[in-house]
């Protein structure tokens, strides 16, 4: 019972995030007025082709590269892939990110690269890469199902065409038999 107020305060802080925490906890540190504005702090993350070198920029660089890969056209992708030669796992994973937004053949290559090098990525980056791999596998699965459906549709259309031909042949035979029957009936009537 005596822990309820403490639990309520902890829950409120957790739900509110950092908004309710003082800038200088426990009375020490610089005042709020002395702190630089967030907009005035220059970005230390270089962007461009991501690597594993700077843990502080790891996620920012990889997310930015992933978004650029998604938005990039074929010419952009070709230029980036030419710059991503090499066998280092960070290069191979960056190649996987770029390839995962290419054509379906490139999706297969991207999947192989992700699966081969995902474990060598920093632990902080692995969930993002795993998410991208899962999303890619989902697209590959949908593409396979679409291709299977198209194949089934083509088979059904082929069966339908064969049945139409068979129906036309049977209709022709029926007309011939009807003509023979009419001929026989006319002969019987004249005899």
**pLDDT at position 108, please?**
94
**pLDDT at position 186, please?**
83
Better-predicted residue by pLDDT, 2 or 187: 187
Confidence bin at 151 (pLDDT 50/70/90): confident
Mean pLDDT of the chain: 79
Arithmetic mean of pLDDT, 126-136: 96
Could you read off the pLDDT of 7-62 as tens digits, one per residue? 555 555 445 554 444 444 434 444 433 333 323 333 446 667 888 888 888 899 99
Both tokens of residue 181? 């029957």
Arithmetic mean of pLDDT, 66-94: 91
Kindly write down the DSSP assignment for every residue of 125-157, as one continuous string.
Answer: THHHHHHHHHHHHHHHHHHHHHHHHHHHHHHHH
Kindly write down the DSSP assignment for every residue of 1-17, as one continuous string.
Answer: -TTHHHHHHHHHHHHHG
Give the percent of the chain with pLDDT over 70: 75
**pLDDT at position 27, please?**
40
**pLDDT at position 95, please?**
95
Residues 6+ apart with CB under 8 A from 24: 30, 31, 32
Better-predicted residue by pLDDT, 34 or 69: 69
> Closest Cα to residue 84, out of 94, 74, 76, 75?
94
Better-predicted residue by pLDDT, 66 or 23: 66
Residue 63, pLDDT above cutoff 70: yes
């Amino acid at each position: 019972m005596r822990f309820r107020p403490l639990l309520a305060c902890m829950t409120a802080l957790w739900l509110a995030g950092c908004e309710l925490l003082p800038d200088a906890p426990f009375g020490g540190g610089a005042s709020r007025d002395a702190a630089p504005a967030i907009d005035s702090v220059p970005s230390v993350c270089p962007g461009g082709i991501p690597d594993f070198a700077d843990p502080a920029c790891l996620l920012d660089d990889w997310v930015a590269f992933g978004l650029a890969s998604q938005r990039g056209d074929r010419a952009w992708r070709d230029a980036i892939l030419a710059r991503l030669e090499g066998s280092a796992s960070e290069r191979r994973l960056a190649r996987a990110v770029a390839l995962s937004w290419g054509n379906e053949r490139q999706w297969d290559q991207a999947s192989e690269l992700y699966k081969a090098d995902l474990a060598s990525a920093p632990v902080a980056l692995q969930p993002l890469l795993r998410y991208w791999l899962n999303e890619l596998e989902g697209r590959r699965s949908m593409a396979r199902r679409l291709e299977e459906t198209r194949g089934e549709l083509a088979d059904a259309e082929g069966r339908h065409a064969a049945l139409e031909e068979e129906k036309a042949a049977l209709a022709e035979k029926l007309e011939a038999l009807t003509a023979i029957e009419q001929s026989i009936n006319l002969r019987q009537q004249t005899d």
